[in-house]
Amino acid sequence: MKHATFRRVAALLVAGLLAGGAHAANEQYFPLQSYRVGPYAAGGTGFFGGFIDYLQYVNAKGGVNGVKLTWSECETEYVVEKGVECYERLKKGLNGAPAAATNPLSVGIAYATLDRSTADKLPLITINHGRTDSTDGSVFPYVFPLQLNPYSEVSAIVNYIGQKSGGLDKLKGKKIVTLYHGSPYGKETNPILELLAKKYGFELTLIEVPHPGNEQQSQWLNIRRIKPDWVILRGWGVMNPVALKTAKKTGFPVDHIIGNIWSNSEDDAAPAGDAAKGYISITTHPSGTQFPVLQDIKKTVIDAGKGNLADPKRFGNVYYNLGVVNGILNVEAVRLAQAKYGKKPLTGEQVRWGFEHLNLDDKRLKELGAYGLVQPLKLSCADHEGGGAVRFQQWDGSKWNVISDWVQADRKLLRPIIEESSKKYAKEKGITPRDCSKES
């Protein structure tokens, strides 16, 4: 009797395992190093909410050529050590479903897992952030600072200021202050700003705000003394609303402050209340819910009660839409790679090929319902960024309104600097760069 029971239980277990295995055999896994608590939870919940909702939407449409997408989360609290621990825990996949790529949305975690990602042959996606020189895919085959690297970001901002001044030649003699977060992220673009100041003849002052930036009186009094034409705000978290409030307090016009890509969300402007009215920032993806892909997500995911956001009012905000854009780019990479390697779950190495061959033109973006939400993007072995353009948006007191067309960074100017830096990295690490002319 005991034996019979044991055999029955064993048979059930084996059947279950086989079923589980069969289930996982047609799944592609996304390991998510998310952060839903801690100081940056507002960004984390929005971004990973949008990302997960897009994956759910794709699954509701039958997956990627029948391959279902699966994911699991590991809480990093935006702490680097936890991010690395999560990476190690999740990189091997889930129930047999191979991992496609990691998307930590953290400069610190991205830097800490960069070498591991290359060794493990797992793409590391740093959308709108990360190491600028990782744009050079010949040295960084597994790293993708998609859409916008930090150098492109400031170059586009200077180009916009040039446009507003009546041409880049009119920048000569202008005064620009950059107020930056006191961290490696904040300092990353200082050398490029200095280079652009030399090239265009504007007077640049760099002013640091120590982390977290909840007190900026002295910095803004200094700015008032300098009387700049424009202030570029390279902030993060609480530093942004405090900058706007202190600017108003010290009498600096907020519509002459341009926020960078991490100073551009509703969470950066709204807490500053009236002080933020007129504030300008860059964006790679407008907020709003009018895009067809977002309407479809609403119908199939949100209205079905499956949305990932705790507060559905955040649907369509800047962080959420960045998550959706990130989802689109990840899924497109898988789709492309499937066209080459077969309609099945793929290894990270195969998905890497997909990322490197992303080519989203207006036609494809319209098919995806993401025209206007995602910029046209073409990646290659040599260019892991792809876009390098931004639009400008202005806060009206309750929402962002896009006020410009795409403004392109001066990528020709930036390319030699990026290559110089990536070559230096390759030499330090003993990496032989790939010959991109031989890559297909």
* Residue ranges binding other proteins (CB under 8 A): 36-42, 44-46, 182, 206-212, 214-215, 217-219, 221-222, 224-225, 237-238, 241-242, 245, 248-251, 267, 270-273, 275, 310-311, 314
Q: Supply the minimum distance, in Å, between the C-beta of residue 14 and other proteins.
A: 40
Nearer residue to other proteins within complex by CB, 39 or 292: 39
Determine contact, residues 291/372, Cβ cutoff 8 Å.
yes
Cα 182 to chain centroid, rounded: 20
Q: Supply the minimum distance, in Å, between the C-beta of residue 317 and other proteins.
A: 9
**How many CA atoms are closer than 13 Å to the CA of 42, on its beta-carbon side?**
16
Nearer residue to other proteins within complex by CB, 219 or 260: 219
Nearer residue to other proteins within complex by CB, 98 or 307: 307
3-state helix, strand, coil in the chain (%, to 5): 50, 15, 35
DSSP letter (8 states) at residue 98 = P
The 3-state DSSP class for residue 390 equals strand
Q: Supply the minimum distance, in Å, between the C-beta of residue 273 and other proteins.
A: 5
Q: What is the dihedral of CA 15, 16, 20, 23, to 10 degrees?
A: 60
Burial 256-291 (b: 16+ CB within 10 A, else e): bbbbbbbbbbbbbbebbeebbbbbbbbbbbbbbeeb
Nearer residue to other proteins within complex by CB, 218 or 290: 218
Q: Supply the minimum distance, in Å, between the C-beta of residue 429 and other proteins.
A: 29
Q: Where are the beta strands (DSSP E) in 210-353?
A: 230-234, 257-259, 280-283
Q: Supply the minimum distance, in Å, between the C-beta of residue 376 and other proteins.
A: 32
Nearer residue to other proteins within complex by CB, 30 or 320: 320
Nearer residue to other proteins within complex by CB, 191 or 273: 273
Nearer residue to other proteins within complex by CB, 36 or 343: 36
Q: Supply the minimum distance, in Å, between the C-beta of residue 295 and other proteins.
A: 23
Q: Supply the minimum distance, in Å, between the C-beta of residue 77 and other proteins.
A: 10
State whether the Cα torsion 167-171-174-175 is positive or negative: positive
Q: Supply the minimum distance, in Å, between the C-beta of residue 251 and other proteins.
A: 5
What is the DSSP secondary-structure string of 303-331?
TTT--S-SSGGGTTSHHHHHHHHHHHHHH
Q: Which residue has the tokens 């609480």?
A: 238
Nearer residue to other proteins within complex by CB, 28 or 240: 240
Nearer residue to other proteins within complex by CB, 46 or 387: 46
In whole angstroms, give the CA distance from residue 104 to residue 89.
14
Task: List CB contacts of 25: < 8 A, sequence separation 6 or more.
Answer: 96, 345
Q: What Cα–Cα distance (Å) separates residue 278 from each residue in 105, 132, 254, 435?
A: 28, 30, 6, 47
Nearer residue to other proteins within complex by CB, 208 or 229: 208
Determine contact, residues 283/264, Cβ cutoff 8 Å.
yes
The length of the chain in residues reads 440
Q: Supply the minimum distance, in Å, between the C-beta of residue 269 and other proteins.
A: 9
Q: Supply the minimum distance, in Å, between the C-beta of residue 154 and other proteins.
A: 19
Burial 137-164 (b: 16+ CB within 10 A, else e): bbbbbbbbbbbbbbbbbbbbbbbbbbeb
